[in-house]
Structure 1
Amino acid sequence: MKNQIQETKKLLLFEEIQGDKKIIYRQHKEDEKKDFVKIYEKKGNEYIFEFDGATIKKIKFEGFDEIPAFFSGFGYGFSDNTLNNFFKYQFEDSRINSLIINDTSASKRKGKALVLNVQELEDLLSSTNQEQRACNDTKRILIKNFLVGAFPELAFDHKETNNNKKLILRNLNQKLIDQLTADDIEKIGEFYVDAAKKYKRADLVKRMSFGLQKNAQILTLQEIILKYETLLKENPPESTWQKFFDEYITLFDTRYAHKINYKNIATGITKYPDLVLVDIYGYIDFYELKKNNTPLIQYDKSHKTWYWTKDVSMVIAQATDYLQKSKENASSYTTAIKEQTETESEEGIDVNIINPRVIIVAGSTKELNTKIKRNHFKNLRESLKDIEFVLYDELLERLKNLLDKIKIK
């Protein structure tokens, strides 16, 4: 027989005694059928709740005189919606059909049940609640900061976003690293070094700085290699390759300290190299970029030998012209570059045009698919004076080797 024991605004609660066991039901006042929904069974200091999860159907409390505050006494599961929804909808391990919560043993698996220590569970809830509060605080601060920027007359002060130490430390993991860019790493590095200075230990700052520099190099090279591999597959126009090299070459080739916008330099010529770079000693290199599927060599049947294709011959001729003009006009070029690169705060760049080089990047080793082709290409390449010929996939291997060396160090 069911006896009413409690009434709320929407519910009626009933109790049924079966021997030494007590069963609690609820009934919704708006339910026309007046169905009884079983909430839990109680025997001694144990509670067994019904739970409508995808695989978990019961939640048992062992050794409790009262139902813990984090659990609903009306049969709706955990009071924390995130925890409740996880075990109800997202826990899909069919080998588990119940939870056991107690305060005597550590969390572990027991047959088809997960045993959860109540203190560990409360610590988890404390962490998730702290995370939620921190997120809410951050949202409020971001709203205020937006209003301060848009409407300075409003009575809000700009404030830094949440600086909860535990929250920050919890998020320092591999998943975060995978999302960081080189710029992000640099910002973190600046904070890292500033934090180390707090202890006034030069050895610690030096070690931290070196580690951060290494990690930033690794991350940057990984990004560059990924983009490079994507471009190799797409075989884009020369302008795309020029943009890529313009953006990244000083990052993956540390010989170079400056890029010169040659078209802004009053040198009196109308044809410009794709890139003009200055190395750490002030010497100039010119770059000419062709497509990565540019044909490299072709066969002369009458002489039974190989020679440069028309496209490559043209770019070699252009490279030779750059070298000749730069040597003939070395003095005026260096003066023009220094004047045009000067700013209000910095002097112009001093360059040396002494035996400059042209680096041609074109084609790939896929074309050189026989030993004879490779040998003839090697002979042709090595016959060039002051011109270095680099294949696109060779450059990719250089990048990968550089990455491996940095990792080993």
Structure 2
Amino acid sequence: MHAWPASEVPALPGKGRDLQIHDTATQGTITLAPGPVARIYVCGITPYDATHIGHAATYNAFDLVQRVWLDTKRQVHYVQNVTDVDDPLLERALRDNQDWTELAERETALFREDMTALRMLPPQHYIGAVEAIPGIVPLVERLRDAGAAYELDGDVYFSVESDANFGKVSNLDAEAMRLLSAERGGDPDRVGKKNPLDPMLWMAARPGEPSWDGGSLGRGRPGWHIECVAIALDHLGMTFDIQGGGSDLVFPHHEMGASHAQVLTGEFPMAKAYVHAGMVALHGEKMSKSKGNLVFVSALRRAGVDPAAIRLALLSHHYRADWEWTDAVLAEAVARLERWRAAVSRPDGIPADALVEEVREALANDLDAPAALAAVDRWAELQIASDGDDESAPGLVSRTVDALLGVAL
């Protein structure tokens, strides 16, 4: 599966700072100082309704991570999946009387278009669950043969008790885990499971549903968590720098994935930092496909909204915060974009070297994009009100906003 084209990232004078980021597992801020190549895995979409503002906010957060690392003169090895076969996708296709593969392809293509418009840097590896199946089957067989998985009516389940470190990503108690498992795709009440929390690794073929050859597992399709594990281990290995996604993935998805990988490899942890973006609400409720209260990036673009304004609206909230999308949020972003473009359109201006360092410092401090925006706001206000004579300043500000915030002025 191919990703989307990359926009050019301007080089800035000097060098950026190492990233300090909030780690969900330890509930503290840690400093990440990768080697020459920083490694990140971000969980992708299930393509049956793409791309809403909640998606965009999540991928914007991890786009900032890439930009901070690139500014430190590192390379970035970024991997993202597409869950192009799963119950929600099949259910939507059945509801709308569509072929599930056509639905997945169409929505994935739309996601690519939206990411391109928003100038999100693409992953080096963009992998669908279906194409990953040949690598998933051997991992499930290894877990089963090691006694870390078991069969139940043809399905194969992972035993969470096989991982001594299970629970160290979310730090939730068993009851909270059970409630979230039921809410987020698990089946804690299924009779015959060794532990209610045990997640499915391989689902035996069901009538009328797609299935693939699973070797000794029989025909079927993979569970949700093992999909990401297979892709991450194949392309990044263990102990990569960041495992990322929305905060709704902390449990069960990232918790279970970590346990799968740790049992498979005997190493801990799967990732140095587990980083999660907050949820976006509309009319007081979390924006979600199940609620149907979605604002789509493509709809905003069709309505004539500049993608740079959409991106500024996302950047105006800290990535870990839960926030609400409103007309006022978008209007403020449109006005900010106009001010910034007016400021950099002058032939010369007030010096901007200090601004570059302010933006760098803000983003290195747990991706504090609102602080970075405030710094550019201050420069723009002075620029419009003053008569500077630094001919390089407007261009430097444009390159800084482009390189570090992904906004083209």
TM, length-normalised to structure 2? 0.16
The structure in which a higher percent of residues are strand is: 1
Task: Answer 1 or 2: higher relative contact order, Cα 8 Å, separation at least 6.
Answer: 2
